[in-house]
Structure 1
Amino acid sequence: MYIITGLGNPGKEYEGTRHNAGFMAIDHLADKYQISMDTRKHMAYLGKGIINGQKVILAKPQTYMNLSGESIRSLVDYYKIDPEEELIVLYDDISLDPGNIRIRAKGSAGGHNGIKNIIAHLGTQVFQRVKIGVGEKPKNYDLKDFVLGHFSKAEQELMEEGCQHSVQAVELMLEGEIQAAMNEFNRKKREK
């Protein structure tokens, strides 16, 4: 069984913001595989289903971004999964252009507070992840204001494509093909 979790902030006011790119990608997965996300447990909205023959639990932690590890730790413990093998985390990345994605098998938090909290709660940096580009913070712009801001119309279209690519990457990862996912998506760069 895999736990696939998207990071974001709960509440209407955060819907469609850059920091909620992980939630957006989970919604795409849930829609494609008709997985209902209406169970509320482990400080998250959850949905159980099957993707490519694998049992999955989709999760959207409701702890706010910076405390995402609390919910994920609870899920990992309850379902007795190995986070180094059976956890996939989808989240926003300001170092990538909107819609570009990057897959990693492990790594540091890279300044992302949600990932920092997950690493602290799990005690490991080794878990699969899909970083979803939301664009670089403009000069003289507050980082918090930027990540909690909404996408422009043009960026929304790019994010739609990025979410679709995230779904395709997760499908490969569930087949044990993380290297194929990296080869496919890590080299893709959108023309400006």
Structure 2
Amino acid sequence: MNPAGAPGPDISRPSSDAPSPPEDADGSRLKLVLGLGNPGREYDATRHNVGWWVMDRFAYDHGLAAFERRGQRLETAGTIGGREIRLVKPRTYVNRSGLALAELRQTAGFETARDLLVVADDTNLDVGRIRFRPGGGAGGHKGLRSVTTVLGTRTYARLRIGVGLAPPGTDLSAWVLSAMPEEDEDVVVALLPELSRAVGVWAEEGVEVAMNRFNR
């Protein structure tokens, strides 16, 4: 997703060298944001890739380096509020998103309930609706189901972005792997600055504050 608007190649400003952030009083120094989506240009503009759109916008807004390939993921990192924040795009395809997280759990040393945010599309929400949750079910989203399976818990924050309900009789897989109509895409693109801010609020102030400020 081009952070300036239309779906397309990732474009991020280069990051500056920064010292490692100090540990917080609670021992945490890392916030991890996992944006769900599929690799490949053919998927750039699809409903299932709005999580990647948010990753690109946040990276752009905060001057992070371009995403780099690391194993089964694309990754970039920076600091916000004195903490390291790491943005991750799985390269495993949405239905196997948890595999990328399995790699990270071996090295990141984060506390899932507090330090992980998963950003995903939601076909149960109208286009443009935003919903933070501190945990819960997958709601039919196979990417969230994969993450839950790998973690062994449903207690992790998620930011769900409405992409609209599939019309009656429409195959759900075909729906999420298709591009949105221009008017719907425009709604989501216009939300990207707010969604970027929402991720920052989650990182600095937690999911409860983010829920109160952004859910609608």
Pair 1:151 & 2:151 matched? no
**Ranges in structure 1 where 5+ consecutive residues have no aligned partner:** none
Pair 1:29 & 2:54 matched? no
Q: Which has the higher helix share?
A: 1
Q: What is the identity, as a one-letter code, of the residue corresponding to 1:6?
A: G
**1:87 alignment counterpart:** 116
**1:6 alignment counterpart:** 35
Shift in alpha-carbon separation, 1:177–1:122, aligned structure 2, 3 A: closer
Shift of 1:110: 1.3
Compute the TM-score of the two structures, normalised by the length of structure 1: 0.93
Pair 1:52 & 2:81 matched? yes
Q: Which moved more, 1:56-65 or 1:69-78?
A: 69-78
Q: Which moved more, 1:172-181 or 1:84-93?
A: 172-181
**2:104 alignment counterpart:** 75
Q: Map 1:1-192 onto structure 2 (within 5 A).
A: 1-186=30-215, 188=216
Shift of 1:176: 2.4
Shift in alpha-carbon separation, 1:71–1:125, aligned structure 2, 3 A: same
C-alpha separation in 1, matches of 2:209 and 2:172: 33
When Rg is computed on C-alpha atoms for both structures, the one with the higher figure is 2
C-alpha separation in 2, matches of 1:97 and 1:162: 13
Shift in alpha-carbon separation, 1:177–1:83, aligned structure 2, 3 A: closer
C-alpha separation in 2, matches of 1:19 and 1:118: 15
Is the CA contact (8 Å cut-off) linking 1:99 and 1:132 kept in structure 2? Answer: yes
Q: What is the identity, as a one-letter code, of the residue corresponding to 1:87?
A: L
- Write the deviation string for residues 50-107 of structure 1: whole angstroms up to 9, x where unpaired: 1233211111000000100010121122111111211111000011111211000111
**Ranges in structure 2 where 5+ consecutive residues have no aligned partner:** 1-29
C-alpha separation in 2, matches of 1:132 and 1:37: 24
C-alpha separation in 1, matches of 2:111 and 2:206: 17
Q: What is the identity, as a one-letter code, of the residue corresponding to 1:180?
A: V
Q: Quote the RMSD (CA, aligned, Å).
A: 1.2
